[in-house]
């Protein structure tokens, strides 16, 4: 997702994660930071916020990000629920999505394609994720010393209408 947003021409990209020090979305934040670094784009500390995985938390984080002296032109949210909150808060501040701010999410929840505009997101097979997690846990319960590695789960970029090149 970060590569896609960079490819649109954004350089000031923020990330809204779940909770500070939570493992739940840590891989998504790490990937964001790694891709930004590989593209030689800075991630100021104030461009990483936490929305506690919910709409209201993302609204608060979005207000903080958009009230910065130099606000981001795009916000990558760690899940779609936070992206919905980000879109709502940006609109309440008078911004157009994606004209003034690009917003993207992760999970491709069932409401993503009926948002206005429809949400650009990363889709992944939730059932497969659950099955793989269960199998890993089962192996660890059978043998706590087992060296288990989480398999790579296929995912896809779902391009809709919430992201566009930045103005100017």
- pLDDT digit string (tens) for 111-120? 999 999 999 9
How far is it, in rounded angstroms, from Cα 103 to Cα 97? 7
Model confidence at 128, in pLDDT bands (50, 70, 90)? low
CB hemisphere CA count around 70 (13 angstroms): 9
Instruction: Report pLDDT digits (tens) over 40-78.
Output: 999 999 999 999 999 999 999 999 999 999 999 999 999
Burial class of 118 by CB neighbour count within 10 A (0 to 12, 13 to 18, 19+): middle
Model confidence at 129, in pLDDT bands (50, 70, 90)? low
Percent of the chain at pLDDT > 70 equals 94
Model confidence at 16, in pLDDT bands (50, 70, 90)? very high
Is the pTM higher than 0.95? The answer reads no
């Amino acid at each position: 997702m970060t590569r896609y947003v960079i490819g649109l021409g954004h350089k000031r990209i923020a990330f809204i994660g779940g909770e500070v020090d939570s493992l739940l979305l840590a891989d998504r934040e790490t990937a964001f930071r790694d891709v930004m670094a590989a593209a030689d784009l800075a991630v100021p500390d104030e461009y990483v916020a936490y929305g506690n995985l919910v709409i209201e938390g993302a609204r608060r984080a979005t207000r903080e990000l958009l009230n910065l002296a130099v606000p981001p032109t795009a916000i990558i949210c760690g899940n779609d629920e936070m992206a919905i909150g980000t879109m709502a808060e940006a609109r309440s501040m008078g911004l157009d999505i994606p004209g003034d701010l690009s917003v993207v999410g992760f999970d491709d929840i069932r409401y993503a394609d009926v948002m206005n505009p429809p949400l650009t997101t990363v889709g992944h097979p939730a059932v497969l994720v659950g099955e793989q997690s269960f199998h890993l846990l089962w192996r660890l319960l059978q043998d706590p010393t087992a060296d288990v590695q989480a398999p790579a789960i296929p995912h896809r970029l779902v391009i809709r209408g919430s992201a566009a090149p930045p103005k100017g």
